[in-house]
Amino acid sequence: MIPFSIIIPFHSKDPYRKNALSVVMNYYKTLFPNTDIIIAYDGNDPYSKSSAINKAVKKAKTEFIAIVDADILCPKYAIFTGLKLLKYFPLILPFNNVCDLSRPLSEKIYEKPNFSLNTSLLHGKNRHPKKSIPVGGINLIKKTCFMKIKGFDERFKGWGGEDDAFVAACDTICGPHKRLTGDIYHLWHPPKKAKTNPYYSNNHRIVIEYFKAYNKKEEMMKILSKRKGI
């Protein structure tokens, strides 16, 4: 097996999200018992997902890293396939569809967080049309590439936008990512829209900077040289 570390960013007092984290941790511990799982907490107020992930990556002892949201279940075969492809690509997105599990099914899973989950038996509603597939959820990346782009941009506060900026920087500086075909599964919890984040407007402005510099290496390097990161 290819050695890798799993990083899960988390910051919430919501009991449903805590239940989701417990399920996700048990799921990946069961699939990969010899793999380090690092929970990316952060002492900043407001919480910075970017800062939390950057701190966690510093602790990782492997060259390959999986950054996984605390409510996402990714099939084992997709992760294995993605890890193998990291020999040829700097970043792998091991899915092309997010399947939202229903509240009843998620609550049933929460009742028994330690039982063995078979993702092939899960079912739910597809979240996105094929033309707007998200880049967040789970990323498999080489640590050398992560360091080269200074990790996640710590100007992002709260949640929202950091994943898009991260992938734009990686594609431009390290080379295009590879997306696989398949589902990842999102556990239900009370939704919280990005626009409720008081820093949403600033986060959106930063994302636009990255989009304007996409595939323009010199412009992207200017952004990376001026901002805080790992």
Q: In whole angstroms, what is the distance from residue 35 CA to residue 16 CA?
A: 25
Enter the tokens of residue 94: 């091991």
The per-residue pLDDT for 129 is 64
Q: At what angle do helices 162-174 and 217-226 cross, to 10 degrees?
A: 130
**Low-confidence spans in the chain with pLDDT less than 70:** 129-131, 193-196
pTM of the shown model: 0.93
* pLDDT, tens digit (0-9, with 9 covering 90-100), for 120-144: 888 899 887 666 788 999 999 999 9
The per-residue pLDDT for 166 is 97
The per-residue pLDDT for 78 is 97
The per-residue pLDDT for 98 is 94
The per-residue pLDDT for 148 is 96
Q: What domains are there in the chain, each with its CATH number?
A: 4-226 (3.90.550.10)
The per-residue pLDDT for 200 is 83
3-state SS string over the chain? CCCEEEEEECCCCCHHHHHHHHHHHHHHHHHCCCCCEEEECCCCCCCEHHHHHHHHHHHCCCCEEEEECCCEECCHHHHHHHHHHCCCCCEEECCCEEEECCHHHHHHHHHCCCCCCCHHHCCCEECCCHHHCCCCCEEEEEHHHHHHCCCCCCCCCECCCHHHHHHHHHHHHHCCCEECCCEEEECCCCCCCHHHCCCHHHHHHHHHHHHHCCCCHHHHHHHHHHCCCC
The per-residue pLDDT for 205 is 94
The per-residue pLDDT for 3 is 95
Nearest to 169 by CA among 134, 132, 221: 221
The per-residue pLDDT for 119 is 86
